[in-house]
Structure 1
């Protein structure tokens, strides 16, 4: 059953194109059910690249069973202008991440948690992370935005990760922005 929120979103990966968010969620559930006593990290992050006449934003969704594989997909958004202001671009990256994170409603998160719940005593885990393509280092141009962006992700009840631990944004999504 399609929900109205699914109509504006199209996700893809190397195997499939034009996935709705509901289909993405189903793939995540199937991946987790294949090994319910795994250590799962659900990670969402966005990166951008300024091109000649547009700015390309890629949001990655990655479900990782640590040491036992991943399932991942991306969503592409194109802004038809060069976004030259770093704060504006970082802020939009995070807004796109927040948009996807918000689609993982309490109801959907509870479905995912219920998969690992019977296996907690065997070591099963589930965490959700928001990967932000910024770094705190003194020489990093984005360091002045760390507090603001981390606070935004934390307010959604998601664990924030910044560089070098924000690999969904800085590595996976980045690969598709070129």
Structure 2
């Protein structure tokens, strides 16, 4: 991936389309500043859907102030072939999640943490999660990939979440893959 391609990423939600990552980040800052004493979870996750001649990947970014609302957006990527190999698809889902997570640099994460910092003793919190659309259950076809994918998320310093806790990937992003 070319270095400047990161700036070509475009995001959308029901209110806005063609948002750059910078604009998404500004929305997150604005959302957090409304209640700087909140309990924030920044979650990124990707889901995919194989269609007749292509595969759709949706990456969701969700900032949640627990019990007080969310702001969210998605990024859509279309691969012009049917990706039938489950491991390849899960791996690409995670790569797309990782590419967004990596845009939240230490500097950016610190900007977000600094919003809640004065309110830590009043109970304000901030965490970042990578939601992976896989499950560990014995009957789950993706269970054999859990260790590999969880390790990849952990290596980025992000808390991995798998089903049923990976709702950004399995519910929010999933809605837009159809």
TM-score range, shorter chain: over 0.9
Structure 1 equivalent of residue 57 of structure 2: 57
RMSD: 1.0
C-alpha separation between the residues in 2 aligned to 1:84 and 1:168? 22
Does the residue aligned with 2:102 lie in a helix, a strand or coil? Answer: helix
Once the two structures are superposed, the pairs formed by residues 69-148 of structure 1 within 5 Å of their partners are 69-148=69-148
Take 2:25 and 2:99, find their aligned partners in 1: how far apart are those partners? 15
Conservation of the 8 A alpha-carbon contact between 1:6 and 1:20: no
How many pairs align? 176
1:121 is paired with a residue whose SS is: helix
**1:22-73: CA deviation from partner (whole Å, max 9, x where unpaired):** 0000000000000000000000000000000000000000000000000000
Provide TM-score, normalisation by structure 1: 0.97
Unaligned runs of 5+ in 2: none
Please state how far the C-alpha of 1:102 moved relative to its aligned partner.
0.1
Q: Which runs of 5+ in 1 are unaligned?
A: none
Residue aligning to 2:39: 39
Q: Secondary structure at the match of 2:18?
A: coil
State how far apart, in whole Å, the 1-side matches of 2:163 and 2:152 are.
Answer: 16
Aligned residue number for residue 154 of structure 1: 154
8 Å CA contact retained: 1:130, 1:161: yes
Query: C-alpha separation between the residues in 1 aligned to 2:133 and 2:105?
Result: 23
